[in-house]
Amino acid sequence: MKVLYITGWCRSGSTVLGNVLAEVPGVVHVGELRFLWLNGVLGSGSNARCGCGLNHRECPVWSRVLEAVRPDGRTLDQHAADVVAWQEAHRTRHTWRTLRNAPPPGHTPPGRTPRDGWPATLAATYEAIAEVCGAHTVVDSSKYASDAALLSGLPGIEASYVHLIRDPRAVAWSWMQPKEYTGRRSALNSTLHWTGFNLAAEAVGRTHRADALHLRYEDLVRSPAGAVADILKLMGYSGPNPVAADGTVELGGNHTVTGNPNRFGRGRTLIREDRRWHTDLPRPQRAATTLLALPLLRRYGYETKV
Ligand SMILES: [Zn+2]
């Protein structure tokens, strides 16, 4: 089975990109899978519903997947607490260590040990998703480069990687807005995370150069059909592109874990840029974000004028 993993930092358009890819036959977008246990089972945060509108424990997909990966003798809550504890050892800052220590192809699969069962749980979860959904490809938009770094070591998984990048000033503005489903971040906090997550995503892309591409949000919304065509090629899919020439896509239902509320949208949808930050981001935050992100702004081809 194949896994397409989206790396980068939040508020970069990964939810809509994943949902567009899910319109390809045999492809399922699961949203931010990493948060299935913390948000979906343990109910942390206010963004704990599946994209189908149900709680994850009642959703026809996640209720089966959660049961499939729950070890005998552990309740769903106990297992979720185990998984969240295991994930602590696989944070973004651990990406480089994981890439260095990645086992060679044909290695022995990782065991489900009490100390760190996350790699085996992740592999088992992808497998259960593919079976329950009848999918050959799972799109995971969790954006944790540390998890992307694990994929080449998971048995039976052929991985590819999309590093999605958005102008950090747009991202900072988005984080500054009050949202019902998640907390706010300052421009400084968002940009520090933007830098760290993007550097980690670059490390994954460098290690798996032949199976990775990077894509700017601004290029995705400018030419959605072209950007999606590049990703479909990376996935080894040669069928029709779900994005029409006019930049619209017909969105069906999905079973995404957390992510932007636009995941609840259905029907014919135009992929377009949210440009509000150009006028609404205050000058001090704009200047601070620009200076902090300067080296990567240049690398990604963004405006560097303060
Ligand atoms: Zn669902």
Q: Residue 208 belongs to a domain with what CATH number?
A: 3.40.50.300
- For residue 58, how far is its CA from the centre of ligand 1 (angstroms)? 8
> What is the Å distance from ligand 1's center to 62 Cα?
6
At 196, which amino acid appears? G
Q: How far is the CA of 189 from the centre of ligand 1 (A)?
A: 32
Tokens linked to 303 = 């405006």
**pTM over the 0.75 mark:** yes
pLDDT at 114: 53
Position 211 pLDDT exceeds 70: yes
CA 54–ligand 1 middle distance (angstroms): 6
Residue 124 is which amino acid?
A
- Rounded-to-integer distance, Cα 259 and Cα 141, Å: 9
Q: Could you read off the pLDDT of 68-117 as tens digits, one per residue? A: 999 999 999 999 999 999 999 899 999 999 999 887 655 555 544 556 89
Task: Examine residue 269 and state whether it is found in any structural domain, yes or no.
Answer: yes
Instruction: Give the three-class secondary structure for 250.
Output: strand
In a domain, 210, yes or no: yes
Tell whether 159 is covered by a domain.
yes
Sheet order of strands, 212-216 included = 27-29, 137-140, 2-8, 158-165, 212-216
Residues whose CB is less than 8 angstroms from the CB of residue 162 and which lie 6 or more positions away in sequence, other chains included:
4, 5, 6, 7, 17, 212, 213, 214, 215, 231, 234
The answer to whether position 281 is within a domain reads no
How far, in Å, is the centroid of ligand 1 from the Cα of 53? 7
| 34 falls within a domain | yes
Distance 221 CA to ligand 1 centre (A): 27
- Residue 106, domain extent: 2-276
Q: Please give the distance, rounded to the nearest whole angstrom, from the Cα atom of residue 180 to the centre of ligand 1.
A: 20
Region 290-295 average pLDDT: 96
pLDDT in tens, 230-287: 999 999 999 999 999 999 999 998 999 987 777 777 889 999 899 999 999 999 999 9
Using an 8 Å Cβ cutoff, are 121 and 66 in contact?
no
Contacts of 60 by beta carbon, 8 Å cutoff, 6+ apart: 52
Are 260 and 6 in contact, with CB atoms under 8 Å apart? no
Distance 26 CA to ligand 1 centre (A): 17
Rounded Cα distance, 60 and 48, in Å: 15
Structural domain includes residue 140: yes
User: Mean pLDDT of all residues in the chain?
Assistant: 92
- Residue 269: beta bridge partners? 249
Residue 17 clears pLDDT 70, i.e. is over it:
yes
Average pLDDT over every residue of 174-195:
87
Rounded-to-integer distance, Cα 164 and Cα 17, Å: 9
292 domain-assigned:
no
pLDDT at 106: 55
What local confidence, expressed as pLDDT, does residue 112 receive?
46
Q: How far is CA 195 from the centre of its chain?
A: 16
Distance 263 CA to ligand 1 centre (A): 11
Q: How far is the CA of 302 from the centre of ligand 1 (A)?
A: 37
User: In angstroms, rounded to a whole number, what is the distance separating the alpha carbons of residues 257 and 33?
Assistant: 6
Percentage of the residues of the chain whose pLDDT score is greater than 70: 95
Ligand 1 midpoint to CA 220 (Å) = 27
Residue 8 has pLDDT above 90, yes or no: yes
Q: How many domains does the chain have?
A: 1
Closest to 113 (Cα-Cα) out of 132, 77, 89? 89
Expressed in angstroms and rounded, the spacing between residue 33 Cα and the centre of ligand 1 is 12
Quote helix, strand, coil % in the chain, to nearest 5: 45, 15, 40
Q: Measured between alpha carbons, how far is 237 from 274 in angstroms, rounded to an integer?
A: 29
182 secondary structure, DSSP code: S
From the CA of 50, how far away is ligand 1's center (Å)? 5
Query: Is the residue at 31 inside a domain?
Result: yes
Distance 129 CA to ligand 1 centre (A): 12
Question: CA 250: distance to chain centroid?
Answer: 21
Question: Rounded to the nearest 5°, which phi and psi values hold at 163?
Answer: -95, 110
Query: How far away, in angstroms, is 55 Cα from ligand 1 center?
Result: 7
Q: How far is the CA of 37 from the centre of ligand 1 (A)?
A: 14
The closest of 31, 18, 3, 4 to 259, measured between CA atoms, is 31
According to DSSP, residue 274 is labeled -
Judge whether 73 and 275 are in contact, CB under 8 Å. no
